[in-house]
Amino acid sequence: MKASLAIAAIAALAAKASAACWSESQGYPCCSSPNAEVWYTDESGKWGVENNDWCGIPKATACWAADLGYPCCSSTTRVEYTDNSGKWGVENGDWCGIIDGGSSTPDIPDVTPSGEQYTISGNPFSGVEFFINPYYTAEVDGAIAQMSDSSLIAKAEKMKTYSNAIWLDTIKNMQSWLETNLKGAYAQQSGSKKVLTVFVVYDLPGRDCHALASNGELLANDGDLARYKSEYIDVIEGHLKTYNSQPVVLIVEPDSLANLVTNLESTPACADSEKYYLEGHAYLIKKFGVLPHVAMYLDIGHAFWLGWDDNREKAGKVYAKVISSGSPGKVRGFTDNVSNYTPWEDPTLSRGPDTEWNPCPDEKRYLEAMHKDFKAAGISSVYFVSDTSRNGKKVDRKHPGEWCNQTGVGVGARPKASPVSGMDYLDAFYWIKPLGESDGTSDENAERFDGYCGHETAMKPAPEAGQWFQKHFEQGIKNANPPL
């Protein structure tokens, strides 16, 4: 957004809010922003809460953007930027204000699912189109608006043509994004060609028990476990049952079970979370694992987390127990390297002091070993999806366990089904962690500062986890391997 526009928008807010303050006649002020969270809706309008009291959310009148020197949008509803004045789109190469009905998420297409059951047979990534994440497309458009290098802009434009996962990382985000994108994928389908959508299920109580940068909204207690089941998993299940004529992949709770393998004794928060991780997985496997059009992949960390012989052996027992606890639900397989930077292949590394004697110093060798060990542990379905969103170039980290906003990043192999000859158990390369979204803040005074985000090899300054990190994105597309 142009700086002058943002300043003008703030200056004009009070006048516009007063003009549209319908709730004053009922004894309540109007909210300070038309984008305030809606707590209640009645015949008068939408109500929010500010200063512990009700407030009326201002209604869009004629063309509110005209007060700021810009037209209102005539056709687009795609939100490029949001400030205190409202939601902004772009038409004819200039900003325009989106009138009431615009949204910070894509409009839900006006479609009704057919109800014709689709059944995944084999690799869910094969024989389908990949759904393009509209939120990420908007993020990249925002990044392009900050660029002047034409060659870099061309690379960024290509990023919008590749699929990546949609993260359901809070109850609110799940409510905003799940049905919206299921409907979008359904509307995109034509004839027998199905459109696959990939979601990350990520809201366990006590989430990220060994990290600070992205710990979740639910705490490790019985009350929040009940919320996880009823307000999160059950709602996801309901939407998946409605949109049963299209394939869906679920990447399940990154980092959680890997923490149970390695961090129970060393990290009290992980010991406190163990019960809720196990019960949460059992519950979701029972719910999702019986849906024929849904394939689930449990997260197994990465090569420099569980790659050592003793860790892999213990992992086999933990994951076999978890999968059994969700019977009759089925799990298709496992996902590795989510939000990490370990290269797919690194022939320069071998088992030795440089790798702390890890026999699996890259993701390929890690999956080869895990396939054998998980089969030996009695797990019947052992297939993998490997996250290649940020491992195209060997990063500058001093130790392969460093994970936060690594310098030298490069986007890796493109999303593709069955990408490696001779590895029939590798279902896909896929972009699970969107390049450009921060791993965590480098601000040491921030509540969720994690020491890894302050390491020498972590790019700084960095915003909070999940927020857009322009410099990291630009470096990632410059270093893409294969090149964009």
What interhelical angle do 150-159 and 134-144 show, nearest 10? 180
Answer yes or no: are the C-beta atoms of 442 and 462 closer than 8 Å: yes
Show Cβ contacts of residue 22 under 8 Å, excluding neighbours closer than 6 positions.
30, 44, 45, 56, 58, 59
Is the separation of the CB atoms in 448 and 213 below 8 Å?
yes
- What values do phi and psi take at 87, rounded to 5? -105, 135
Please state, in angstroms and as integers, the Cα–Cα distance from residue 399 to each residue in 260, 342, 458, following that order. 22, 11, 12
Tell me the two tokens of residue 360.
């699996």
Catalytic status, residue 443: no
Give CA–CA dist 326/328, Å, rounded.
6
Q: Phi/psi of residue 385, each to 5°?
A: -120, 120
Residue pair 90/217 in contact (Cβ under 8 Å)? The answer is no
**Separation between Cα atoms, residue 38 and residue 98, nearest integer Å:** 18
Q: Which of 67, 255, 299, 346 is catalytic?
A: 255
User: 356: left (phi > 0), else alpha (psi -120 to 50), else beta?
Assistant: left
Give catalytic status of residue 309 as yes or no: no
> Binding site: what residues are annotated?
167, 169, 302, 305, 340, 403, 433, 437
**Alpha-helical regions (H) of 231-328:** 234-242, 256-262, 268-288, 303-306, 309-325
Annotated binding-site positions for substrate: 167, 169, 302, 305, 340, 403, 433, 437
Q: Which helix (H) or strand (E) holds 119?
A: none
Tell me if 83 sits within 8 A of 9, measured CB to CB.
yes
Structure tokens at 76: 């687009």
Question: How far apart are the C-alpha atoms of 447 and 175, rounded to whole Å?
Answer: 26
- In sequence order, the 6+-apart residues with CB closer than 8 A to the CB of 420 are 364, 426
Closest CA to 430 of 472, 465, 469, 391: 391
CA distance 415 to 267: 35
Alpha-carbon span 329 to 327, nearest angstrom? 5
Instruction: Say which amino acid occupies 266.
Output: S
Catalytic one of 67, 224, 427, 439: 439
Q: Report, as residue numbers or ranges, the catalytic residues.
A: 255, 439
